[in-house]
Amino acid sequence: MVDKPRRARFQRTMRLLTASDYESVFQQPQRSSGKALTVLARASGCASPRLGLAIPRKQIRRAVDRNRAKRLIRESFRQHQELLRGLDVVVMGKSALLEKDTRAVFACLENHWHRVSERCKSSAAC
């Protein structure tokens, strides 16, 4: 019997779970905005990064499109965990996200990850 390699999962400890978790990020965030996404970040007391998603139905109507967006965001977040260490991040989607293909979404997210990471490391407020 051959063991299958385990895929690194997006675990529960990597998620913002409660309203108070989200509220702490919304209070004084470092912001990175674009046409398709807005990323808010704030330093947390945790060593590992945590992600929250806000993909509103008003912006992205179809559930299949919202689920695709969430899946891409989680995967990009998982790949950039080391860069985002110690941050709580909330990603908000906009309707322009539907126009982007997978590579464009990953490129957009990578730019946002680098921006918020640098801003939080250079800012004393974060």
**In-domain check, residue 49:** yes
pLDDT digit string, tens, across residues 12-32:
888 999 999 999 999 989 999
**pLDDT given for residue 69 in this prediction:** 96
pLDDT at res. 124:
52
- The distance of Cα 38 from the centroid of its chain, to the nearest Å, equals 9
Tokens 């293909």 -> residue: 101
Q: Is residue 92 part of a domain?
A: yes
* Residue 97 lies inside a defined structural domain of this protein: yes
- How many domains are there within the chain? 1
Confirm whether 38 is domain-assigned: yes
Dist CA 15 CA 49 (whole Å):
8
Task: Indicate whether 99 belongs to any domain.
Answer: yes
Q: Which of 70, 75, 84, 78 is nearest to 112 (CA)?
A: 84
Non-local (6+) Cβ contacts of 22 within 8 A are: 16, 52, 54, 90
Please report the pLDDT score of residue 44 as a whole number.
Answer: 87
8 A C-beta contact, residue 72 and residue 24: no
Could you tell me the residue range of the domain that residue 68 belongs to?
15-119
Rounded to two decimals, the pTM is 0.87
Calculate the CA 109 to chain-centre distance: 8
DSSP 14: G
Domain membership flag for residue 5: no
Does 53 reside within a domain?
yes
DSSP conformation class of 93: E
CATH code of residue 66? 3.30.230.10
pLDDT band at 45 (very low <50, low <70, confident <90, very high): confident
